[in-house]
Amino acid sequence: MRTTVMAGTVTVLICAVLATLIVIGVRTRAVDYRREDAAAAALQMVFLVKQGRVPAELKSPRDVTLQVLDQRGAVVAGTPEVRGESRIARFVPERTTVYAVRELCPPAGLEGCMEVVAFRVYEPEGDWIVYAAVPATPWYVSSSLVTVLLSLSLLVTLLACLRTWGTVDRTLVPVDAIRAELTEITAKKSGRRVTVPENRDELRRLAVAVNATLDRLDAALERQRSFTSDASHDLRSPIAAARAQLEEALMYPEEVDWPGTGRTVLQSLDRLQAIVTDLLELARLDATAWRGDEIVDLGAMVTIELARSERSKRVVPQILDDVTVRGDRLRLVRLFTNLLDNAERHAESRVDVRVLSVDGDACLEVVDDGAGIAERDREQVFERFARLRAGKERDPAGTGLGLPIAREIARAHGGDLTIEDSDRGARFVLRIPGAKRDGAH
C-alpha cells in the first residue's frame, strides 16, 4: 500500500508538471494565434484606409472587434458593438513604431479583458489609428483543455497505481512464501530451507542468504545438542563412579578400606571439578565479548610460565624478543598451559616452544615429539569433549575441553589455533595479530 501511494504521489506530481508545461505552451500559442487574427484584421483596415474607402460598419472575423479613428481622433468606422461609441482605447503607437499592443480590462464599451492591437496609418493630413481587439486568453486557456488534462492525469495516475500494486504484489509473493516457511521452522523442526526463486534477482539472493543463515543455525544447534549430550555423559561418569564406590562401602562398612575409598571418591570429584571448571570457562568465552586492552609480551609470558612449574618432559624454548599482542594476559596464559599440558602428555621426551613474528602476526608454536595427529583428525581434537584413542590411553581423566578452550581464546583475540605439518609429533600453531608497545596495531 505504501509503495502504491508513493507511486501515485510521484505520478500526480509528474502529471502536474507536465500539465503545467502543456498549459503554458498552449496558452502561448493561443495568445500568438489571437494576436495574429487581430493584426490581420487591423492590417486589412489599414489597406482600406489607404484606399480611402472605409465603410461605416466594419465586418471582422469572429471575436475580433475593429474600430477606425481619423486624424482628429473621431470614430469613423467600427464593428457593430463599438460603432458610434467612444474610442475603445486611449493608447497610440509611438511615432517611431507602426503598432502597439496592450491588454485592457476592459476596453471602453466592451466587457472582460481583451488584447488590443493599435496600428498607426500615416496620411498627409494626419495619422489615422486602427484598433483591433480580441478576448484575452485566460491562464488555463479553456475549460475543455483543463478537463482533458485532468482526465488524462487521473487516468495515468490510476494506471500507475494499478500497475504498481500488481507489480509489488507479484514481487512480494516469494517474500510471503519465504516468511511462511520461516514461521514453520523451529528449533525442533530444523533442517528445512526456504524456496529459492528461479529469477536471478534480489529475492533470489535473499533466499540464498536465508538458507545460508539456516545452515549456520542448524550447525550451531547440532553442536549444542552434541555438546549437551557429551557434557551430560562426562558429568555422569565421575558422579556414577563416586556413587558406586560409596554405595559399596556402605553395604560392607567393616570390610571397606575407607581411606582408599575416600581417595577414589576424591579422584572422581577432581575429574568432576575439572569438567565443571572447563565448562564454565567455555560458557564465559561464548557469552561475553573480550575487551582486553593490555599489551602482552608473548615471549616474556612464555618464559615466566616455563620457569614457574616443573615439567616431566624436556622443554626447549626458542623465543624471539619483542613479540607483543593486545589481549588478556590470564587467558593467554591459560591457552599456553593447555597447549603445553597437551604436548607433555603426548611427547616421548621433548617439547619445543617457539615464539616468533610472521608477517606482522605474533606466532606461538608448541611441538612435541610424539606420534602426532592424523590430518583427518586435526579438526576433531578441537571439538568439545572430543578425545582420540591415544589421548584416552595417555590421560583417562582428561575432559576433552582443553584444546577447544585454547582455540576459543585464540579466536577471541582475533587469531586462530591450528595444527600444521611437522616432521615428527603434533605442531600446534597460534597466530594473533601483533601490536606495538605504544598500543598501535
Is residue 405 located within the same domain as residue 424? yes
Q: Do the Cβ atoms of 49 and 128 come closer than 8 Å?
A: yes
Strand order from edge to edge, sheet including 75-78: 75-78, 65-69, 128-135, 114-121, 99-104
Q: What is the pLDDT of residues 126-142, one digit of tens each?
A: 888 999 999 988 888 88
Q: Helix, strand, or coil here: 125? A: coil
**What's the CATH number where 100 sits?**
3.30.450
H or E stretch including 407?
helix 402-412
What does the pLDDT read at residue 75?
A: 87
| pLDDT 10s digits, 17-49 | 999 999 999 989 988 888 888 888 888 888 888
CATH number, domain with residue 415: 3.30.565.10
Report yes or no on 170 lying in a domain: no
Label residue 132 exposed, middle or buried (CB < 10 Å: 0-12, 13-18, 19+): buried
Decide if pLDDT at 441 tops 60.
Answer: no
Same domain flag for 23 and 83: yes
| 123 lies in the same domain as 217 | no
Q: What is the 3-state secondary structure (H, E, C) of 256-295?
A: CCHHHHHHHHHHHHHHHHHHHHHHHHHHHHHHCCCCCCEE
Domains identified in the chain, total number: 3
Percent residues over pLDDT 70 in the chain: 86
Cell 582455540, residue? Answer: 407
Same domain, 15 and 105: yes
- Among 78-92, 200-214, 387-401, the range scoring the smallest mean pLDDT is 387-401
The domain boundary, picked from 105, 135, 165, lies at 135
Residue carrying the nine cell digits 594476559? 329
Provide the terminal-to-terminal Cα distance of the chain, rounded to the nearest Å.
Answer: 51
- Residue 302 burial by Cβ neighbours in a 10 Å radius (0-12, 13-18, 19+): buried
Q: Does residue 166 lie in a domain region?
A: no
Q: 341-389 pLDDT, tens per residue?
A: 889 888 889 999 999 998 889 999 999 998 888 888 888 888 877 667 6
**pLDDT for the residue 186:** 65
> Is there a single domain that holds both residue 425 and residue 393?
yes
Residues 16 and 91 occupy one common structural domain: yes
Beta-bridge partners for 236: none
The residue out of 111, 135, 159 marking a domain boundary is 135
pLDDT, residue 244, reads: 82
| 283 and 302 inside one domain | no
Nearest-angstrom CA–CA distance, 160 and 164: 6
Q: What percent of the chain has pLDDT over 90?
A: 17
- CATH no. for residue 270? 1.10.287.130
> Residue 242 pLDDT more than 70?
yes
The per-residue pLDDT for 237 is 67
Q: Please tell me whether residues 251 and 324 are part of one structural domain.
A: no
Averaged pLDDT of the chain? 82
Q: What is the pLDDT of residue 359?
A: 86
Domain end residue (candidates: 269, 287, 305): 287
pLDDT band at 226 (very low <50, low <70, confident <90, very high): low
Q: How far out from the chain centre does Cα 384 lie? A: 36
Q: What angle do CA 179, 183, 187 make, to 5 degrees?
A: 135
307 and 414 assigned to the same domain? yes
More confident residue, 54 or 399: 54
Is 150 within the bounds of a domain? no
Q: Stretch 396-424: mean pLDDT, rounded?
A: 83
User: CB atoms < 10 A from the CB of 358, how many?
Assistant: 11
DSSP state at residue 361? E
For 13, 155, 270, 426, 434, the CA distances from 160, given in Å and listed in that order, are 12, 9, 76, 70, 59
List residues bridging with 419 in a β-sheet.
Answer: 428
The answer to whether the predicted template modeling score (pTM) of the entire model surpasses 0.85 is: no
How far apart (Å, rounded) are the C-alpha atoms in residues 384 and 230? 8
C-alpha separations of 172 from 8, 164, 429 in Å? 19, 12, 50
Residue 107 sits in the same domain as residue 236: no
- Segment 310-326 shows an average pLDDT of 88
Closest residue by Cα to residue 232 from 350, 96, 91, 384 = 384
- Residue 122 corresponds to which amino acid? Y
Q: How many CA atoms lie within 13 A of 228 on its CB side?
A: 6
Determine the structural domain holding residue 269 and report its residue range: 202-287
